[in-house]
Structures are given as C-alpha cells and as structure tokens.
Amino acid sequence: MAAIEYPYGRVVGAVNDVAGQKQVLVASLAVLETAKKPGLVVHLPFTWPEDAQLTKWHPPKISPIVKMYLDEIKKVAAEKPI
C-alpha cells in the first residue's frame, strides 16, 4: 500500500496540479511493482504544500483507511525531523 498524508479528498494532490498528481501516481505504481509482500505500507515522500488544516475541505468524520492506520500515521509523523 502506498501511503500519503494529504488532506481527505486530495489523495493524488492539489486541484489542477497535473505534474504533482502524476508524480504521486507514478510513485504509487512503483510501490505496487516493487512490493515484496502483502500488507507492506510504503510512505510516499510527498508533503502537502500548506498546513492541511488550512485546506478547508475535510469530512465530518475521519476516513476509514486513515482511522485504520491512525496509530502508524502518528508514529511516522512523530519520527519525522522538523
């Protein structure tokens, strides 16, 4: 699974950012190509260009996939250097 920490509804990138969306899709397909075992989670090296809270488009409830991996997401976020 290719994981990316982008705001809900913008999983491949910002609206009208064709080049950025293509980069995300190519990286996601590369994960499928190189994954050695089922259940492998690869965090893609992309960051949202602004504070995700400022995106102003969030669902009222957390998405099921984020909820399922929330502990892992928090762990990875805590390990990232600032």
- Whether 18 shows a pLDDT value over 90: the answer reads yes
What does the pLDDT look like over 39-63, one tens digit per residue?
A: 888 999 998 888 766 766 656 778 7
Q: How much is the pLDDT for 28?
A: 93
For 15, the domain range is 2-79
Longest dimension (CA), the chain: 37
Helix (H, G, I), strand (E, B) or coil at 2: strand
Q: How many distinct structural domains can be found in the chain?
A: 1
* Residue 67 φ then ψ, to 5°: -60, -40
Which has more pLDDT, 31 or 82?
Answer: 31
Q: How much is the pLDDT for 57?
A: 64
- Pick the closest to residue 44 from 69, 18, 19, 12 (CA basis): 12
pTM for the model = 0.61
- Whether 21 shows a pLDDT value over 70: the answer reads yes
